[in-house]
Amino acid sequence: MNKVKIANHTVTPEVIIHAHHAILTEKFKSHALTKVLRLERFALPIRRIDVEVSHEANPRQADRAFHVELTCDGTGPFVRAQASAGDQYTALDLAVERLEEQVRRLHERATSIAHRRPNPIMREFLTPDSVVEEIDTDPDVLIDNGPLHVQLMHLECKSMSIESAVEQMELQGHYFYVFRNSDTGLPCVLYRKHGYDYGLVQLDQAS
C-alpha cells in the first residue's frame, strides 16, 4: 500500500509578472509578489501564478486605465481573475481579492469533502459514466440475508496516471476512485486519507 501526495502542495509557487504597455517599478513588483503569495495559506496545488499588467492610454478610460489579470496554474482547477482601475495598485488589489474568493471556495470545498462522513451505500460514490452495467436481477444480488445486502456493480476501469485519478476523484467528490494505472497497467483503488494525503491499493497478479 502506497502513500500518494499531490506534488508541490508545500512548494512556494513560481510568480511571473508581465507588463504590456506599462512600466512596473520594483516597488510594485514586490507588492504584487507579497499579495499573490498570500494564496499559499489555502494549501492548494498551485505551481505557478501569472500576473499580467496592461495599460490603456485612452484618456476616456482613465478610471480603467490599468488592467490586471491573474492566472493560477497547477494540478488543481484552473483559476483566473481580473480587474481594472485608475492605477495599477488598485487594479492589482481588486484582482487579488477576486482570485482569493475563488481559491477560498475551492479550499472550503476540498475541506468539506475531506471531513464528510462516507455514505455506506456504494451507489453514492459512483458517477453515471463510470457504471457500465447495473442489473437489479437475482444473479447480481450476491448476498441478501436480513440487513446484509451485497449487490454486484460493473465498473469501467479507465487507464490514467495517478495524478489524473486524484483530479477525477476530487472533481467528482468521491472518497475512492477505481482506475487502471497507465504506468503499470494494473487496476488500482485510490482513496482519501486526511487532507491532501491519499492511499493507493494496487491489485497485483498472483505469482
Pick from 69-78, 142-151, 197-206: least confident:
142-151
DSSP H helical ranges for the chain: 26-36, 88-115, 162-172
Query: Which CATH superfamily includes the segment(s) 2-115?
Result: Ribosome hibernation promotion factor-like (3.30.160.100)
The set of cell numbers assigned to 27 is 516597488
Per-residue pLDDT at 152: 74
pLDDT at 45: 75
Smallest CA-to-CA distance from 51 within 5, 17, 27 is with: 17
Tens of pLDDT, residue by residue over 4-55, are 333 434 468 889 999 988 999 999 999 999 999 888 777 777 888 999 999 9
Q: Considering the entire predicted model, what is its pTM? A: 0.49
Using one digit for the tens of pLDDT, what is the confidence trace for 135-194? 344 555 656 555 566 777 777 788 999 888 887 777 766 778 899 999 999 999 999 877
- What cell was used for 15? 510568480
User: Which pLDDT does position 147 carry in this prediction?
Assistant: 59
Grid coordinates representing 93? 488589489
What amino acid occupies position 139?
Answer: P
The x, y and z cell numbers of residue 82, run together, are 481580473
Domain ranges of the chain: 2-115, 122-202
Do the strands 148-151 and 154-155 form a parallel or antiparallel pair, or are they unpaired?
A: unpaired
* CATH of range 122-202; options 3.30.70.1400, 3.20.20.20, 3.30.505.50, 3.40.50.300: 3.30.505.50
